[in-house]
Amino acid sequence: MVFLKRQLPLLICFIIGTISAVQYYVPTHLSSDVAEGLSNWYIIVAMFASLLGFVSVGMVHSKKIQRKEPGWAYSALVFLGIALMVVLGFWSGGKETYDDGRISPFGWLYNATLVPLQSTMFAILGFYVASAAFRSFRAKSFDAGVLLVTALIVLLGNVPFTNYIWATGLGIHDIAGVKFEMTDIVGWLIGTPNAAARRGVTFGVALGAIATSLKIIFGIERAYLGGGD
Amino acid sequence: MKRFLWLTILAAGTASAQETAPPRSLPAVEGVLFEDVPADNGAGVQATWKKMPNDAEVTYKVLVALSEKGPWFEGGSTPGTESFTQDDGLPFWMGPPRNRETHYLAIDGYQDGENRVTLQPAEDPKKKTRKDTPDYWFKLVAEGPGGRWESPATKLRPEWNFFNWARLNVFIYMISFAGIILFFIRVARGRQLFIRRIAGLDAVDEAVGRATEMGKPIFYLTGRNGMTDVSTVAATLILGEIAKKVATYDTTIKVPHTDPIVMAVCQEITRESYIAAGRPDSFKPESNFFVTDDQFGYTAAVDGMMVREKPAACFYMGYYYAEALLLAETGASTGAIQVAGTDADHQLPFFVTACDYTLIGEELYAAGAYLSKEPVLVGTLRGQDVGKAVVLAALLILTAVATIGQWISVGGKKPWKWSELSVFDFLKGS
């Protein structure tokens, strides 16, 4: 039992992890075929696991309905939505559009409900960005002040009218023969200090990911199997 | 007379179709060489030839065929003023010598009508395995105002390679890095290593304590990616440590999931954490539950739960996309103490803005070791730091070397100006 629960998963992890790491350095078709095979296995496992997800959704919402918890009607709507999509999916032969170009009931429900809802959620992001920016741009410290000034320059530099004022109104085109317009300042801010900071983070992330992968491949980190040793 | 004219047109058409007529008006291109691309999957051929005086007017094409007699298909083309060995994109220890005197063109397929056909090994129909790459024929064609020139056809069989030498540097670094990590694990077994404080992880106790006092749940999110993503693995490891504290304080944790596999793993991790904390009876399997794999459906559901249940603490670990700010801002509006940890550099500013503590980049990977304080795992942290120091030193040295090299090359034609240094290219609009 211990072998099945601990040693076998560790062995599988070591073999698959090593193959995946070596595969990166081996350019043959055999190597890419192995990678493709592993990827297909993952997809198959994920498909079976999606049943787990479906069962989990069913249990959570059926309990809410049974116990008449606050908002249980929304749980009923979940089942109604699932049933409606399944029925219309079968009715439409699983097609969003028919061969003659007409949209099927299944496709209509998808386009008329899910797509607008997704777009709405994404659109809310614009307002959240504004509120988050308002909070972070309060110049309480020197660092926050630098952030505020930099952000203002980038914001203004992306507005065509500001560029027009800079070049035409103020007549600034170059300093000591070097091209120096608003867009150049923005380009420098994004391309130099910002890119440098992001690359620093990327280096750290890459090393952290390699270290975590090594810990898992060599069986040093076993918590993902379910807790301690 | 009419019959003779038709024969002439037909003959001209046939010659054109076979592309075999070699007009003599363009000078012969020198040094034409077709070679197998080193360290590839057997689907690449590189052509090199000498720069010619009339290059400004000439277009070069590499033609590919499956037999010497054709039909010939275009594999690639370049104007005579471009594509030199200097631009081949290979690392310095591979490929032909870099200069602007030799043209270079890599071919990985050819155009057959509207289809791009890749040079590749044929498949054995019985065994369904790949066989050797078949023979291909190549020739270089120069076309310009003076006419057309063709090189003789060259037979070549691109070959597979078992090691990609272009990734030799990555391989050396990975082996060295693995050695450093294993060395520090050994060191950590013998003595206690110092780890710098990470404020976001020290706040875990505060967050769990707050949830216990308020009698409100903790929300823990593992990100949007599946178990194939290392950041998700790191998020599940942190969950294990936080779940132990949650179990010890007998408070409530809720882990809404967007991936069923991650849910199954986290369920097991949480169960083991409760057992490790000596409270197996308090474990509730439904603390980990699947919501949906739809990005904004998941976000809306979790936001709704946050607004209704007003959690005491929210943890956002793993990889996030556009939903990062939607989740973190909603969490902030409920007054929860928020700790985020992500390696998604695009989302970091949003988390820094909306959360109380943020684990930046590799701190996410360090968190499991930091919270568990296990010597073996702490050793890997020290190894990571040494690896970073090596990268930093290499960056500093190579930046200095590149700057000095640039300085010397510009200084050769004195008097030079600061603006001539390539570091100012961005100001010149290049």
**From CA B112, how far away is CA A182, in angstroms rounded?**
48
The contacts found for B375-378 with CB under 8 angstroms, 24 or more apart, are: B375/B188, B375/B189, B375/B192, B375/B193, B376/A220, B376/B185, B376/B188, B376/B189, B377/A215, B377/A220, B377/A221, B378/B188, B378/B193, B378/B195
Residues A131-152 have pLDDT tens digits of 888 877 777 788 888 888 998 8
Quote the percentage of chain B above a pLDDT of 70.
86
Across A206-223, average pLDDT = 86
A36 touches chain B (CB under 8 A): no
A135 touches chain B (CB under 8 A): yes
Cβ atoms within 10 Å of A45's Cβ, excluding its own: 13
Contact B305, B297 (CB under 8 A): no
Contact B192, B375 (CB under 8 A): yes
Residues B333-370 have pLDDT tens digits of 999 999 999 999 889 989 998 999 999 988 898 888 88
Interface of A with B in 179-208 (CB under 8 A): 179-180, 184, 187-188, 191-192, 198, 201-205, 207-208
Across A157-161, average pLDDT = 87
A228 touches chain B (CB under 8 A): yes
How many beta-carbon contacts under 8 Å exist across A and B? 222
Comparing C-alpha atoms, which of A76, A72, A74, A108 is closest to residue A89?
A108
Residues B37-53 have pLDDT tens digits of 888 877 788 888 888 88
pLDDT at B311 over 90: yes
| DSSP symbol at A193 | I
Strands (E), B51-204: 59-65, 73-79, 102-107, 109-112, 115-118, 123-124, 129-130, 136-144, 147-150, 154-156
User: Which domains can be identified in chain B, with CATH numbers?
Assistant: 22-162 (2.60.40.10), 193-373 (3.40.50)
Interface of A with B in 137-166 (CB under 8 A): none
Across A213-221, average pLDDT = 86
Residue B420's pLDDT is: 56
Contact B370, B205 (CB under 8 A): no
pLDDT at B65 over 80: yes
Contact B307, B283 (CB under 8 A): no
Residues B113-138 have pLDDT tens digits of 888 888 876 665 565 556 666 788 89
Residue B189's pLDDT is: 83
Contact list in A for residue B224 (CB cut-off 8 A) is: none
CB contact under 8 A, A225 and B268: yes
- Smallest Cβ distance to A56: which of B263, B326, B350? B263
pLDDT at B8 over 50: no
Q: Which residues contact B427 (CB under 8 A, 6 or more apart)?
A: A178, A179, A180, A184, A188, B419
**What ipTM goes with this model?**
0.87
**From CA B65, how far away is CA B359, in angstroms rounded?**
56
Amino acid at A166: W
Residue B279's pLDDT is: 92
Most confident of A181-185, B24-28, B97-101, B363-367: B363-367
Contact B132, B157 (CB under 8 A): yes
CB contact under 8 A, B427 and A56: no
Quote the percentage of chain B above a pLDDT of 90.
33
List the single residue in A with minimal CA-CA distance to B289.
A56
Buried residues in B104-122 as b, exposed as e (16+ CB within 10 A): bbbbbbbeeeeeeeebbbe
Q: Which residues contact A21 (CB under 8 A, 6 or more apart)?
A: A213, A217, B174
- Smallest Cβ distance to B325: which of A54, A129, A187? A129
CB contact under 8 A, A223 and B240: yes
